[in-house]
Every structure is written in structure tokens, then in C-alpha cells.
Amino acid sequence: MNNQIRSWQPFRSPLDPCPPILVKTYVVPPNQYMVFQPMNLPQFPLAEALRAGTLWPALYSPYEPRSRKGEPQ
């Protein structure tokens, strides 16, 4: 499970017209916790770094498409 995802439960009224989305989510990427990037962080192998978009696993933030309604988040 992606530990960069935060979730919260919006107010749900019994009179809401549509079937509810009970839990909403947002992403907090790792740069939010890094004031200055430390020197000599571990690095991805080059091919993997290209795919990830960053040289450093510490900055990597995956994002998967939002699940369709009814499927698990």
C-alpha cells in the first residue's frame, strides 16, 4: 500500500442524491518532508531511474489511476 496517500471521510448526509464515496484521498509526496535534499542518497539503477523520473528512491512518488466507484481504493 502506498504510504504517501492520506484519507479522510467527508460529511455524508442521508439526503445526498448519489451513492456515496465514503473515503476521499489525497497524496503527500516525499518532497514535503525534505527541506534540503541530503547528499549521497541511495540511487536507483539508471534504467529504473529513467522509468521512475528520479534518481533517488527517497523522492519517488508513484501515482495510480483513481479507482472506479465501487472498487476498493
Binding footprint of other proteins on the chain (CB under 8 A): 10, 13, 15-21, 66, 68-69
Integer Rg of the chain from CA: 17
Q: How far is the CB of 36 from other proteins (least distance, A)?
A: 31
Which residue lies nearer to other proteins by CB, 13 or 40? 13
Decide if 43 contacts 55 (C-beta within 8 A): yes
Q: Is the Cβ of residue 24 or residue 51 nearer to other proteins in the bound state?
A: 24
Tell me the one-letter amino acid at 38.
P
What phi, psi does 42 have (nearest 5°)?
-55, 150
Q: Give 18 or 46: the residue with its C-beta nearer to other proteins.
A: 18
